Amino acid sequence: MKDLGQALLAKTELVIESWIEAVRQDKEIDSSKKLTYESIRDGLPALLRAFATLLTQTLSDDQPEKTEESAVHHGAHRAEQNYDVLEIMREYHLLRRVIFAVLQPELLLGSPAEILQAVQLINGVLDEVISVSVESYMEIRLQELERIRAQLILTNQELTRLVESQRENLSYFAHELKNPLTAMIGFSTLLLQQQQRSARSEPATICR
């Protein structure tokens, strides 16, 4: 069987074009509708190159690390683009389907045992990439939630401070108004009493 890694490297652009078209047409990936072509594509070439190298017959010692870094970047990037986790899983489902479709001619050159081995290898590597990518996505999301929580705590503290400040101001104003109001009430009472006394002391009018 032809080296699947080399075959995938040679067809990287075809995989990317086919995958982006599938993502754009998929109704379950609504977040992609708001993105440019470049935003959807970002990070995928590096991820595919690292993935393809893992499929080659000669692996470099640092390639698993490079694949993990690419997967981490892809997951973090999707988190920044406000994807939800189901949309990411759907994207990888489409990527898996595209990779198998593109590599089908090379896969069919092998024996049944070789095909089965190749399918297991591709699925295994993709599953690992998905796991790392989703973990990276969740980490970014949790950091965002922590920032929101911290901001809400600060906002709540500020609101509590403002309420306390207003309460103190109202208490001060009430105290300041108490004495003038008491005096006004006192003067009003005296005036009413004087008017009542004046009314009683006036001589009655004699009718003839």
For 139-150, the pLDDT digits (tens) are 998 988 898 988
**Can you tell me the mean pLDDT for 8-34?**
91
CB 100 within 8 A of CB 8: no
What does R_g of the chain's alpha carbons equal in angstroms? 39
- Spatial separation of the C-alpha atoms in residues 63 and 55, rounded to whole Å: 10
Closest CA to 95 of 68, 66, 74, 65: 74
pLDDT digits (tens, 9 = 90+) for 86-143: 999 999 999 999 999 999 998 888 888 988 988 888 898 888 888 888 999 899 989 8
Determine if the pTM surpasses 0.75: no
Q: Per CATH, is 4-154 categorized as 1.10.490.70? A: yes
Predicted confidence at residue 95, as pLDDT, reads 92
Residue 60's region, left for phi above 0, alpha for psi from -120 to 50, else beta, is beta
Query: pLDDT tens-digit profile of 179-198?
Result: 776 777 777 787 777 777 77
pLDDT at 205: 52
Contact present, 53 and 59 (Cβ < 8 Å): yes
Q: Going by C-beta distance under 8 Å and a sequence separation of 6 or more, which residues neighbour residue 9?
A: 49, 52, 53
DSSP 40-102: HHTTHHHHHHHHHHHHSSS--TTHHHHHHHHHHHHHHHHHHTT--HHHHHHHHHHHHHHHHHH
pLDDT at 6: 87
Alpha-carbon distance of 5 to 7, in angstroms, equals 5
Q: What is the CA 71 to chain-centroid distance, rounded?
A: 18
